[in-house]
Amino acid sequence: MSQVREEKPLIAIVGPTAVGKTEISLELAEHFQGEIISADSRLIYKGLDIGTDKPSPEEQARVPHHLIDVTPPDKPLSLAEYMEMAYAAIEEVLRRGHVPFLVGGTGQYVWAVVEGWHVPKVPPDEELRRRLEAEAREKGAEALYRRLQGLDPEAAALMDPRNVRRIIRALEVIEHTGRPFSQQRRKVPPPYATLIIGLTRPREELYQRIDQRIDRMLKRGLIEEVKALLEAGYDPSLPALTGIGYRQIVDYLQGRVSLEEAIRAMRKATRRYVRHQYNWFRLNDPRIHWFDLSHPEAKERIFHVVEKFLTHSRRKREDL
């Protein structure tokens, strides 16, 4: 079994938003004949380009990309659907003799694929969902989050307190099974030898990059993008439009806040999201090879580690 896993390399590139995952993954994929499978829960949506900082058409043309623009904003993917698509893409890349790079900052997506999660098979309970959604509107997302903390603190610790959809799903599973959501995820490791590269930067440098990226988004037309989505009839309460950047610009367009207030809220929410990402990708996790991109030799070291991993994988394959 270990030999079979060794012959199927998978490289994951993880880290917080704005750290530089896109640039590094493109250079690695170009150099090692790879293809990129997105592990970002917002890049799946068509039409959400600027606010998600989606790789540009030019960047996507440099190497093949997968799981970008796969669904409209009003049709979110379940984790099980994402996993099925990700595994299919990985196998396609491997069949072509290329190296699959799983790239993104959505911890749930990355670990589900790398660890082989088996998601609880509880069908949607629309009545329960409507009731919980109404409660979230009336009392705020924090009320639902506190309930989840009481029922399943382990699951709550890995969730953004503002992610109403994921909190509701966890409560739904608990309601129907009577068991904590976190205890129902069996893990069956997939047949890959996986190298996980973690990218980080000093926190203040990362926050500066976040502010610069938000400024670029606004200059590129984020407000016009959100306005076009609303004019196309998409409900602002959709998960796609309640993500960071979109929610704040919706509030601005609907007159609830000034543009300056919306920008401040975007910056604050993104910083909070970075802290949440570091809960998923811990700096002391021995599975992750961390590299500080502020270090002048970081890129060279990353390329060395990837080369060593792929060489080892090729030798194992030749031994079969």
Shared domain check, 92 and 7: yes
Distance CA 97, CA 112 (A): 24
- Residues of the chain with pLDDT > 90, as a percent, come to 77
Shared domain check, 102 and 18: yes
Shared domain check, 102 and 24: yes
Shared domain check, 295 and 159: no
Shared domain check, 57 and 197: yes
Give the tens place of pLDDT for each residue, 235-259.
998 989 999 999 999 999 999 999 9
Buried b (16+ CB within 10 A) or exposed e, 215-230: eebbeeebbebbeebb
pTM, 2 dp:
0.85
Range of the structural domain that residue 159 is part of: 126-184
For residue 115, is pLDDT > 80? yes
For residue 300, is pLDDT > 80? yes
Shared domain check, 176 and 314: no
Shared domain check, 205 and 62: yes
Give the tens place of pLDDT for each residue, 67-106.
999 999 999 888 889 999 999 999 999 999 999 999 999 9
Q: Which of 136, 157, 184 is the last residue of a domain?
A: 184
pLDDT value, residue 2: 37
Shared domain check, 220 and 167: no
Q: Which of 135, 169, 184 is the last residue of a domain?
A: 184
Give the tens place of pLDDT for each residue, 178-237.
888 877 767 888 999 999 999 999 999 999 999 999 999 999 999 999 999 999 999 998
Shared domain check, 173 and 43: no
pLDDT band at 313 (very low <50, low <70, confident <90, very high): confident
Whichever domain contains 168, its CATH number is 1.10.20.140
Q: Which of 145, 163, 184 is the last residue of a domain?
A: 184
Average pLDDT, the chain: 92
Shared domain check, 282 and 135: no
Q: What is the 3-state secondary structure (H, E, C) of 125-180?
A: CHHHHHHHHHHHHHHCHHHHHHHHHHHCHHHHHCCCCCCHHHHHHHHHHHHHHCCC
Shared domain check, 101 and 227: yes
Whichever domain contains 299, its CATH number is 3.40.50.300
Please give the tally of structural domains in the chain. Answer: 2
